[in-house]
Structure 1
Amino acid sequence: MTRAKQFLSDNAASVHPRLWDAMKAADGPDSPYDGDRVSQQMDEAFTDLFGRECTALWVATGTAANCLALASMVQPHGGVVCHREAHIEMDEGGAPGFYLHGAKLLLAEGESAKITPDTITDVIGPIRDDVHQVQPHAISITQASEYGCSYRADEIAAIAELAKKRGLGLHMDGARFGNACAFLGGSASDAAGAVDALSFGFVKNGGLSAEAIVFFDAGLADVARYRRKRAGHLQSKGRYLAAQILAMLEGDLWLDNARSANAAAQEIAKAAADRLIHPVEANEIFLRCTAEERGALRAEGFEFYDWGSDAARLVTAWNTPQEDALALAQSIARL
């Protein structure tokens, strides 16, 4: 029987062994919630990483990270501008409306699931400044985007300038922030730009059950603390979440893991050639592939998701075996 070669999702990947060690090291009695010695190290760790003052809160899921970050800057009568393919619109089961108490998502267009100042203006420009229409309160961008494409520093800067001019908050969904940062080759600060809050993803990158909301505005963090408790995400033994996050930051494990995933994706992308639907700038590959061709790949033991009727999505992870990536690349080249 052919061994399954898994390219379904980086969510399906194993937990990095250093995280198990870190959680074991955090064992023993300590203060509950986020008063423990491990959680108290998070602000300093992220401040060192980004080179500017940060306040970081742990939560269990990316959905909670996105929604609690946005809830700190958006009122119930307001709206959040995002791409129409953004995770908060397509894959969070209405959670933004729940956490933001009815605030609306205002959907913008853009190539490869990236929005621009022009496409944002197309959405918010026609909105009258009166009580009869939902007013924009924030912009949310995804790094890397839902189609695996990374925002460059100048692109983020242009959006940040518009946000500042319009008095809007700027949030970044960084579920695959590590992969974007590894692709861009610069610093974490460059990959984040001048956002007010970043949902820093770890679970897709070798983590277990911890994501971080990194606030560059301490006032927003103060609001989010209360909302986190109210939402049921203030875990009593939070030190085990903090331990995972700090283990990922230590020695840039988060970046090493992302580089490994990206390298596997690039190996496959080279073979895909003109089948590629979007540039491969992280660890996701979208390729044109008929139902018959997808069946042939599955018959060789490759697991992945269909993406519509004539495409496939392939996702690599931090621990994707090199031989599996090479085998998939060869099989795609033979199609």
Structure 2
Amino acid sequence: MNFASDNVYGVHPRILEAVVAANQPLTDVPYGHDDGAQACEAALSRVFETPVRAFLVLNGSMANSLALSAMSPPFGGIFCHEGAHIQTDECNGPELFTGGAKLLTLPGEGNRITPQAIERRLRHFVHGEHGARPSVVSITQATELGTVYTVDEISALGATARAHGMRLHMDGARFANALVSLGCTPAEMTWKAGVDALSFGGTKNGGMILEAVVFFDPALAEDFLFRRKRAGQLLSKGRYLSAQLLAYLHDGLWLDNARQANALAQALSRGLALVPGVRIAQPTQANEVFALMPVALCGVLQALGAVFHEWPVDGIDAGMTHVRFVTSWATPMADVSRLIALAQQASARGVDGDD
């Protein structure tokens, strides 16, 4: 019963088969100039219904850092939520690869920022060149608390960014999960809503090494080949990356995987909500379930083999803890059912942990 992350599960068989198939030709063009890389850009252009520039990279943190490096000058300011992955989990990578741009963090319910929060923060930028130049707004879709920005919310953020001469970046590590949750098109959730660049994630949704930086504004991609190379993200045998992305997109596999993960999260959320003493802390809108539960119940579930993380938040009552469960395309439904049953049984016994 491993709910620690969608990263803990393996590679979808169809993607693995595509990697094996890419190994069949004796030779291929190296360093991302294989035919598959061009096919990936064309495929993503079809997905987003507009010509895009797309560059495959090895992980999501670098996708974010390099995308932001193309969007912000070294003296720029990047607005993001205080709990955003670029702030809490990328070891100052955005600051390093932008050459020193400053992350300007904002509060917001459900790890979502608002135009109003940005406007309030901008009122303090009255010292001209003595402070960072507001350059980028970065949002995570789905967020680090499993919530999802609506299309209207993204559009409002895009309009705010443009009104102040800034760009809008989307960290889409769980892009597919957010997309199927909203039921909109990829275009509606990105460039039509004002997104200039997207970190398009696939590793969490069935890929092996499957991330891409997608630019809807081609001017941002002008020197990205050099940025990717300098950062050590140019894989010499790039055909194994492009093979993954093409398989991921083929016949809607990426959307099917996300629907499966989201459905499992919904089932888990509904089941846990019925356990006495447990409260779902955030709306379950993608493939993450956040819950408040007694510390004792948390310990019992972990002792019985459930793997998940306690997730720090402020304002928790004594004796309670905030936890995160993540489902994936490959999470067994039996594991979801067993976790719910164990929680119900432990609660009925007064959370004493006895079998």
Partner of 2:35: 37
Give the secondary-structure state (helix, strand or coil) at the position aligned to 1:70. helix
Once the two structures are superposed, residues 120-174 of structure 1 have per-residue CA deviations (whole angstroms, 9 ceiling, x without a partner) of 1122221125111111110000000010001100000000011111110110000
- 1:25 corresponds in structure 2 to 21
1:10 is the counterpart of 2:14: no
1:283 paired residue number:
287
Opposite residue 238 of structure 2, the aligned amino acid is G
2:301 is equivalent to residue 297 of structure 1: yes
| Pairing partner for 2:55 from 48, 54, 57 | 57
Instruction: Output the CA distance in 2 between the equivalents of 1:310 and 1:243.
Output: 42
CA contact (8 A) 1:26 1:38 kept: no
User: What displacement does 1:197 show?
Assistant: 0.4
Q: Which AA in structure 2 matches 1:210? A: L
Partner residue in 2 for 1:112: 110
Flag structure 1 segments of 5+ consecutive residues without an equivalent.
none
Structure 2 CA distance for aligned equivalents of residues 210 and 261 of structure 1: 17
| Structure 1 partner of 2:119 | 121
CA offset digits 1:301-327 (Å, max 9, x no partner) = 211111236111111111000111122
The one-letter amino acid of 1:110's match is: G
Cα deviation for residue 255 of structure 1 reads: 0.8
Q: Which amino acid aligns with 1:173?
A: D
Deviations 1:25-83 (A, max 9, x none): 22231111111011111111011101111111000000010011110010001110000
Does the 8 Å CA contact 1:267/1:329 hold for their aligned counterparts?
no
Please, what is the CA RMSD of the aligned residues?
1.2
Q: TM-score, normalised by structure 1?
A: 0.96
In the alignment, residue 203 of structure 2 is paired with which amino acid? Answer: V
Question: Residue 160 in 1 paired to residue 177 in 2?
Answer: no
Q: Which has the larger radius of gyration?
A: 2
* Cα distance in 2 between the residues matched to 1:151 and 1:225: 31
User: Identical aligned pairs, as a percentage?
Assistant: 44
Separation in 2 of the partners of 1:14 and 1:189?
Answer: 29
Unaligned segments of structure 2, at least 5 residues: 313-319, 348-355
Whether the aligned pair in 2 keeps the contact of 1:107 and 1:123 (CA below 8 Å) is no
Tell me, in whole angstroms, the C-alpha distance in 2 between the residues paired with 1:71 and 1:279.
33
Residue in 1 aligned with 2:316? none
